Amino acid sequence: MSDTSAGDWLRERLDDPWKASMHAVVPHGFPAYARILHPATVRSLPDRPVPTYDEYDAMPEAERQSLLDHFIDAPATWAETASAFGTTLHPLAQWQRIVRTPVDGDWRTRISPDGREFTAPTEGELAPEMLASIASHLIAHTTTPDAGFAALWEGRGALVGHMGHGPSRAFLTFSDDPNHQAMLDRSVKDPFNNVFRKQTWQEGILAREISEGPRFRLPERDHVLFGGAISAFASPDWILDVPWRDRPAEEHGFEPSAQTPSILWPDDHAWVTVSEIDYDSTIVAGPAELVAAICADGRLEAFQIRENADLTWDADEVNR
């Protein structure tokens, strides 16, 4: 959008970005708040614990391949994860505490005492069907379901193009012609000469006009702002109709996809959702009835949280 003033009201309700509160990214002033936990992933083997990385590296190649053929991957709730690690799930729980991460340990992938491997939730992103489940409640609690705004953080997934020497992202290209492949390799591995080449426009997902357009600016975050019907997100197929659908990736054989909006709100400002890029949960601020409906939805793992809740890295005081 050329006019980003539609988001001014939201900016005015945010705290200083360095304050230990969710209100660095979630606006103040709503009756209630819900924290929707993003799903994790659990990997298991039918007849043995998942090996550690050191154990895997020490295996013969044939045994490694056999393991890969038998791994079972499935979504995991935070409740299931807490049960596996003997920790406590509560509204302000933090993932690294839930999985008992030691000091300087890798919290992204942890093996539980029962031998399963848990991988941390994706930050700042929701599966299309999960956003659709949330949106089914959102549209029931606004007078303007067909008019609202979606803000996308500009830094994710080659969303916007740029002037430069190299593409916004590269898709792997394989060739049987050794001369052609050598040319491709040189073009990627020639940083010295690249410095002296004239910069050209490198395409992103969005058209150049939008990429070079004005931004909706929030503390520490700049967004591309779109106006449209919030009700569209209530369909799991919303990714097929949004202007930021990743068509360049589809041209290289990938399935249809689209970035989760970082922020959504309707024209009447009845609520706002925030999928902050560094959060493993999505926050919905709005009427108490909306928050209650979200927390009661069995498709979602959600808790009501208080205003001024601390969701920073070290906020989980229960699982220390």
Predicted TM-score of the model (pTM): 0.87
Q: Are 270 and 298 within one domain?
A: yes
Residue 310 inside a domain? The answer is no
The answer to whether residues 248 and 181 belong to one domain is no
Q: What are phi and psi of 82, to 5 degrees?
A: -60, -40
Q: What is the pLDDT of residue 134?
A: 98
Q: Does 168 reside within a domain?
A: yes
Q: What secondary structure letter does DSSP report for 245? A: B
Q: Is residue 181 part of a domain?
A: yes
Domain for residue 152, yes or no?
yes
Residues 13, 90 within the same domain: no
Considering the domain architecture, whether residues 87 and 133 belong to the same structural domain is answered as: no
Hey, is 168 helix, strand or coil?
coil
Last residue of a domain, one of 202, 222, 251: 202
Where residue 313 falls among pLDDT bands split at 50, 70, 90? Answer: confident
284 and 141: one domain? yes
Last residue of a domain, one of 95, 119, 143: 119
How many other CB atoms are there within 10 angstroms of residue 130's CB atom? 18
Closest by CA position to 286, among listed 188, 105, 102, 142: 142
Distance from C-alpha of 301 to C-alpha of 289, rounded to nearest angstrom: 17
- Please list, residue by residue across 204-232, b when 16 or more beta carbons sit within 10 angstroms of its beta carbon and e when fewer do: bbbeeebbeeeebebeebebbbbeeebbb
Domain assignment present for 318: no
Structure confidence at residue 156 as a pLDDT band (50, 70, 90): confident
| pLDDT value of residue 172 | 57
Tell how far CA 302 is from the center of its chain: 16
* Residue 96 belongs to some domain of the structure: yes
Question: d(Cα 150, Cα 230) in Å, to the nearest integer?
Answer: 8
Give the end of a domain, one of 119, 142, 175: 119
How many CA atoms, within 13 angstroms, populate the side-chain half-sphere of residue 179? 0
69 versus 245: the higher-pLDDT residue is 245
Residue 41 DSSP one-character state: E
**Are 309 and 33 spatial neighbours (Cβ–Cβ below 8 Å)?**
yes
Number of domains observed in the structure of the chain: 3
Q: Is residue 71 part of a domain?
A: yes
State the chain's mean pLDDT as an integer: 89
pLDDT at 290 over 80: yes
- Geometric angle at alpha carbon 208, from 202 and 212, rounded to 5°: 100
The distance in angstroms from the start CA to the end CA of the chain is 45
Whether 315 is in a domain gets the answer no
Is the domain of 197 the same as that of 210? no
Does 11 share its domain with 147? yes
At 64, is the pLDDT very low, low, confident or very high (cuts 50, 70, 90)?
A: confident
Phi, psi at 162, each rounded to 5°: -160, 160
Q: 140 and 23, same structural domain?
A: yes
Same domain, 293 and 144: yes
Beta bridge partners of 282: 36
- Domain coverage including residue 175: 164-202
Three-class DSSP category at 43: strand
Q: Give the separation between CA 310 and CA 93, rounded to whole angstroms.
A: 10
Radius of gyration from C-alpha coordinates of the chain? 22
- Does 222 share its domain with 131? yes
In a 13 Å sphere around the CA of 184, the CA atoms on its Cβ side amount to 12
- What pairing do the DSSP bridges indicate for beta strands 109-111 and 281-286? unpaired
Identify whether residues 34 and 52 lie together within a single domain.
no
Are 133 and 62 found together in one domain? no
For residues 92 and 188, give the distance between their C-alpha atoms in angstroms, rounded to a whole number: 45
